[in-house]
A = this chain, B = another copy of it.
Amino acid sequence: MTRQIENAVTRAQEALERTRSASPAEVEQWLEAAAAALEAHAEELVLLAAEETHLPEGRLRGELTRTVFQLRLLGAETASGRHLDATVDHADDAWPMGPRPDLRRVNVPLGVVGVFGASNFPFAFSVMGGDSASALAAGCPVVHKVHEAHERLGMRTADVITKALEAASAPEGLFTAVTGRESGTALVNHPAVAAIGFTGSARVGRLLFDQACARPEPIPFFGELGSTNPAFVTERAWASRREEILRGYAGSVTLGMGQFCTNPGLLFVPALDQEARKVLSAELSEAPRFPMLTDRLAADFGETLDAVAGGEGVETVLTGEPGRSPGPTILTTTAEHVHRKPGLLGEELFGPAGLVVEYGTEDRLGSLAALVGGQLTATIHSETDEDPGPLVRLLEARAGRVLMNGWPTGVTVSHAQQHGGPYPATTAPGTTSVGTAAVRRFLRPVAYQSFPDAQLPPALQEDNPWRIPRRTDGGAS
**Chain A residues in contact with chain B, CB under 8 A?**
17, 20-21, 62, 65-66, 69-70, 87-89, 95-98, 100-101, 103-105, 108, 110-111, 194, 209-210, 213-214, 217-220, 373-374, 384, 387-389, 392-393, 396-397, 399-406, 412-418, 420, 422-424, 427-430, 432, 436-437, 440-441, 443-452, 455, 457, 469, 471, 473-474, 476-477
In the complex the two chains form, is B20's CB within 8 Å of A430's CB? Answer: no
In the complex the two chains form, is B452's CB within 8 Å of A404's CB? Answer: yes
**Complex alpha-carbon distance, A213 and B423, angstroms:** 11
In the complex the two chains form, is A429's CB within 8 Å of B110's CB? Answer: yes
In the complex the two chains form, is B404's CB within 8 Å of A455's CB? Answer: yes
In the complex the two chains form, is A414's CB within 8 Å of B95's CB? Answer: yes
In the complex the two chains form, is B446's CB within 8 Å of A418's CB? Answer: yes
Known: A110-B430, A418-B105, A444-B429. A97 touches B209 (CB 8 A): no
Kindly provide the distance from the CB of A371 to the nearest chain B CB, expressed in whole angstroms: 13
In the complex the two chains form, is A103's CB within 8 Å of B446's CB? Answer: no
A415 proximity list for chain B (CB < 8 A): 87, 89, 471, 473-474
Q: List 18 A-B contacts (CB under 8 A).
A: A20-B393, A87-B437, A89-B417, A95-B412, A103-B414, A103-B417, A105-B416, A105-B437, A110-B429, A194-B429, A213-B214, A217-B422, A217-B423, A389-B455, A400-B444, A401-B447, A401-B449, A422-B444
Known: A393-B20, A404-B455. A416 touches B87 (CB 8 A): yes
A397 proximity list for chain B (CB < 8 A): 20, 108, 111
In the complex the two chains form, is B217's CB within 8 Å of A89's CB? Answer: no
In the complex the two chains form, is A100's CB within 8 Å of B414's CB? Answer: yes
Instruction: Report, nearest first, the 10 A-B pairs whose CB atoms are least far apart.
Output: A418-B447, A213-B213, A89-B416, A69-B97, A87-B416, A105-B416, A403-B449, A401-B447, A217-B423, A103-B416
**Complex alpha-carbon distance, A219 and B423, angstroms:** 8
**Complex alpha-carbon distance, A257 and B21, angstroms:** 39
